[in-house]
């Protein structure tokens, strides 16, 4: 009797462990926060990238036009991959391109823009990352589509073909 119980117990334990791991593999462990639409943009003060003059967010996001805020850094590989989409969006007349340089070395960031061209109408500095935190950013790159001082679309990660066309449709 002892001999028959042990194999049944072993098989049952194996099946339970297998089931637990199988269910665990089906659940995504990637946390993607819920993105609420139409959130007011944060108020902040920073410095302009090239001139180093102080600038307030009230002076950046004025009027009812579309703004595309892109958080980027020269050390960010996905930022280089998405740069072609930013260059194409910068050709649209109804979108004002704003760059937020995140925790970057100024010379490296400047060379990044020289090498890949500058799609931004304005770039401001975020040397310590606090402005990105106020925006609710999780890393770089992140992109925010803004109209009437409200975030209408938040994109976590690099732009791609699908997101590029989505932005173009939203800004028609």
Q: In whole angstroms, what is the distance from residue 5 CA to residue 58 CA?
A: 74
Please work out, in degrees rounded to the nearest 5, the angle formed at the alpha carbon of residue 67 by the alpha carbons of 64 and 72: 160
pLDDT value of residue 107:
97
CB 167 within 8 A of CB 145: yes
Q: In whole angstroms, what is the distance from residue 153 CA to residue 156 CA?
A: 10
pLDDT value of residue 124:
97
Q: Domains in the chain, start-ordered, CATH in brackets? A: 39-170 (3.40.30.10)
CA atoms within 13 A on the CB side of 120: 24
Q: Across the 172 residues of the chain, what is the mean pLDDT of every consecutive 10-residue run? A: 75 88 72 58 93 93 92 97 96 94 97 97 96 92 94 94 95 90
pLDDT value of residue 11:
87
Nearest C-alpha neighbor of 98 from the set 133, 136, 142, 139: 142
pLDDT value of residue 50:
96
């Amino acid at each position: 009797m002892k001999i028959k119980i042990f194999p049944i117990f072993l098989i049952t334990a194996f099946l339970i462990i297998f089931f637990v791991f199988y269910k665990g593999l089906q659940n995504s462990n990637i946390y993607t926060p819920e993105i609420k639409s139409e959130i007011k943009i944060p108020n902040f003060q920073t410095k302009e990238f090239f001139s180093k003059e102080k600038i307030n967010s009230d002076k950046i996001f004025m009027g009812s036009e579309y703004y595309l805020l892109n958080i980027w850094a020269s050390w960010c590989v996905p930022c280089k991959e998405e740069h072609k989409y930013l260059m194409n969006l910068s050709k649209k007349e109804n979108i004002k391109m704003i760059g937020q340089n995140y925790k970057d070395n100024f010379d490296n960031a400047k060379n990044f823009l020289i090498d890949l061209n500058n799609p931004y109408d304005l770039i401001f500095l975020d040397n310590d990352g606090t402005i990105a935190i106020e925006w609710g950013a999780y890393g770089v790159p992140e992109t925010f589509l803004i109209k009437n001082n409200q975030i209408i679309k938040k994109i976590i990660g690099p732009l791609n073909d699908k997101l590029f066309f989505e932005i173009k449709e939203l800004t028609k």
